Amino acid sequence: MEMERTFVMIKPDGVQRGLVGKILQRFEDRGMKIAGMKLIHVTVDLASTHYEEHVGKPFYEPLMKYIQSGPVVVAVIEAPDAIEQVRKMVGATDPADADVGTIRHTWAQDVTRNRIHAADSPASAEGEIGIYFKEGEILDYPLSVHDWMFRD
């Protein structure tokens, strides 16, 4: 079974509402591995790099202010087909459009305060992991439950 890594950020509103454990539990319940995780304040430099593609868009400045407004949890999640599976679990960007049972449907009410970010492609996952994690901060370890959950 080939593993894939993706990037997840529990945004300031998710941290402030005390949802970190509940959100991470969903990934673990699905058999996904947390390969890296930390609680950080997003600096201007980190935010500028992460949201570079949105420069000039009307939501850019409010997004920059919001993402720096409090601590966030950044994580690397690993599983077969992790990027697609995590995106499905997170739900549509606008919570009003998110499927019932997704993270955003369950805990978010507004598109600008939607609790969580997840990489949307292999390129963005790799890039975002590189922004927030340094060499040695992502661990490679066996998760015994994988033998019971996934076929070789």
Q: What Rg, from alpha-carbon coordinates, does the chain have?
A: 15
Q: Which of 41, 50, 54, 117 is catalytic?
A: 117
Residues with Cβ < 8 Å from 16, sequence gap 6 or more? 70
User: 3-state SS string over the chain?
Assistant: CCCEEEEEEECHHHHHCCCHHHHHHHHHHCCCEEEEEEEECCCHHHHHHHCHHHCCCCCHHHHHHHHCCCCEEEEEEEECCHHHHHHHHHCCCCHHHCCCCCHHHHHCCECCECCEEECCCHHHHHHHHHHHCCCCCCCCCCCCHHHHHCCC
117 assigned to active site: yes
* Residues marked as catalytic: 117
